[in-house]
Amino acid sequence: MNRNPFSRNALFAATAIAGTIALAFLLSGPSRAAEDAAIIPPPTLDAKTATGIQTAVVAGGCFWGVQGVFQHTAGVLNAVSGYAGGARESATYDKVSTGTTGHAESVEIKFDPKRISYGKILQIFFSVAHDPTQLDRQGPDSGPQYRSEIFTLNDEQKEISDAYIAQLNAAGVYKKPIVTRVAALKGFFPAESYHQDYLTLHPSQPYIAYYDIPKIRNLKKIFADSYVEKPTLVSSAKITN
């Protein structure tokens, strides 16, 4: 269970005054997210030409930042924060936060394959959305619910994911091995409404400002051709679950 006083859960409960003080403190140093962003090659194996709306599900720590990254990604029609890896009955924030339900905080991404490929989504996921070398944690958040995992919907996605992890490890892109798991998706359960669009709605919240806003900046810098200024929010997306 996460006991870091500067974790998301601790900051999530802070008052506005305390948050302002914490924000000033956090922004006085370099951003961990900015340090961890990596320029990586695209996957040599990618999805074949597909038609219709496609779905990808990834987990990389707190879903606020991962959702925010893909909401600013061209070709993404909707990105929803939620839970994957466990049962429907225990897919609630309070239960998942115990780290005992088998879930990971995840993001379901609906995308147009004519505008962005599955492999490109994985490239952005590994490059700016999270650090794939951290085991059962991400930044200040620890526990299996913050693990790095790709939940695949079919054999092609599994093949692409496995091949890309092997490719990046062989290239020595990171100083440590990638620990990202790859598993078949058994179910995705949207998170509570107050978790949706969190980055956009709370840009000055200390956790968001320090750990997640730099991810958006890195997306714009490293993947300029895939960046869109106006995010595609759950509250206004035309594609729903």
Residue ranges of the alpha helices (H) in 27-141? 32-36, 63-71, 93-96, 118-124
- The CB density around residue 88, as the number of other CB atoms within 10 Å, is 11
Based on the residue annotation, tell me whether 62 is a catalytic residue of this protein.
yes
Query: What is the distance between the alpha carbons of residues 226 and 70, in angstroms, rounded to a whole number?
Result: 10
- The CB density around residue 145, as the number of other CB atoms within 10 Å, is 30
- The CB density around residue 39, as the number of other CB atoms within 10 Å, is 11
Q: Which helix (H) or strand (E) holds 152?
A: strand 148-152
Question: Which position among 33, 40, 59, 62 bears the catalytic label?
Answer: 62
Query: What is the distance between the alpha carbons of residues 80 and 198, in angstroms, rounded to a whole number?
Result: 11
Angle formed at CA 191 by CA 118 and CA 205, multiple of 5 degrees:
95
Catalytic positions, please?
A: 62
